[in-house]
Structure 1
Amino acid sequence: MSFQSQVYIEQPLGQPGTISRDNPIVKLPMIAEGSDLVAGGFAFAGTNAELQVKGLSSGAKAVEGFVVMERYQAPLGGIGNNLKINEGEEVAIVKKGYCYAVSTTSATKGMHVLVNPATGAISTAVVTATAGTGALSGSINVTQGTVTGTVSGSDVTGTTAGVAAAFGSDAKADMGSVSGIADGLIDTGWVVVTGGSANGVCEIACL
């Protein structure tokens, strides 16, 4: 028998849609609305946002959490479609914690996790935020009031109209900028912890 010639120093990545580390973890039980919710994907607010979540939502601006499957369900979608959650099933939505996911792009530790709310596709990107100064630029239109009346000694009597100011159409404040998020994608607030190749399993976290 030959001597061992290779040693693996990295733990294998697990099944997408499962929790990768026991602590910390914050999750809520929710009910699947529609047929688009998938374990290993992100969830969006349903019709009843306190009870329901759904897998696709074109107008969404934020995610409710990451979907994990913690119970058995009837394979209504077929054996080869076992990550899809049946409508009406209870599902765990992870708000904070570590989970396994599949990204359509290669993932490296520290990258932001993005999602397309119209398709549910998960991707990763380097996102850079630039702080703003708050400085105003553009035109400000000022209309001064008028003073009428008589001057008696140091007193002015009469009526005084106020001073009105309005921002022009080109006025704006420097509020900073964010780059790296393509149009139509949402920054989920999750980041890559253990990277992987495109369409491969990676570990993501929200802490």
Structure 2
Amino acid sequence: MYTFSEIIAGVDEAGRGPLAGPVVAAAVILEQPILGLNDSKKLTRLKRAQLFSVITKESRAWSFAVGSVAEIDRVNILQATKLAMARAVNQLLIVPDKVLVDGRDTIDIPMPCQAIVKGDQKELAIMAASIVAKHIRDHIMDAMSQRYPGYGFHTHAGYGTVKHRAAIGALGVLPHHRKSFCKVPEN
């Protein structure tokens, strides 16, 4: 754990595993602890929305960035994720003293960076970043679902569920599908 006298940015992503949609990374610098923070995967959608509102109002700084499907297909999901994370850190309005990243890999940024396995369960700033990234990605996938109603993106967020795979088979591959990441049939 860290003290709030240091300027610590937590960084996490949402959307590394799906067949469709971007990967979204977020960076958050907390002003003080926020009650209810947890790994975004352990929270309901409603609770994430509530915490997103608190995080974005009460944090010292926050930002997000996207790794597009084209970028994922071009450089691979890990590299697209790391690029999105670095962009999110570089977009912060406050330069952090240190960056804590969820997972095993650090990112290429001009300040000290530490990777923490299961950081979204251990570090408050990473938990906050996890919530911001997931909330924003959910909204992106909801918009995609409205544009392409037969795919059910609002229910599976692009993950390879039976329903999603059936929709790909029936309706075809969209430009939002990661063709190099997963074996999806070509149109």
Q: Rg: which structure is higher?
A: 1
Q: Does TM, normalized by the shorter one, top 0.5?
A: no
User: Greater share of helix residues, 1 or 2?
Assistant: 2
TM-score (ref. length: structure 2)? 0.25
Q: Which has the higher contact order (CA 8 A, sep 6+)?
A: 2
Q: TM-score, normalised by structure 1?
A: 0.23
| Greater share of residues in strand | 1
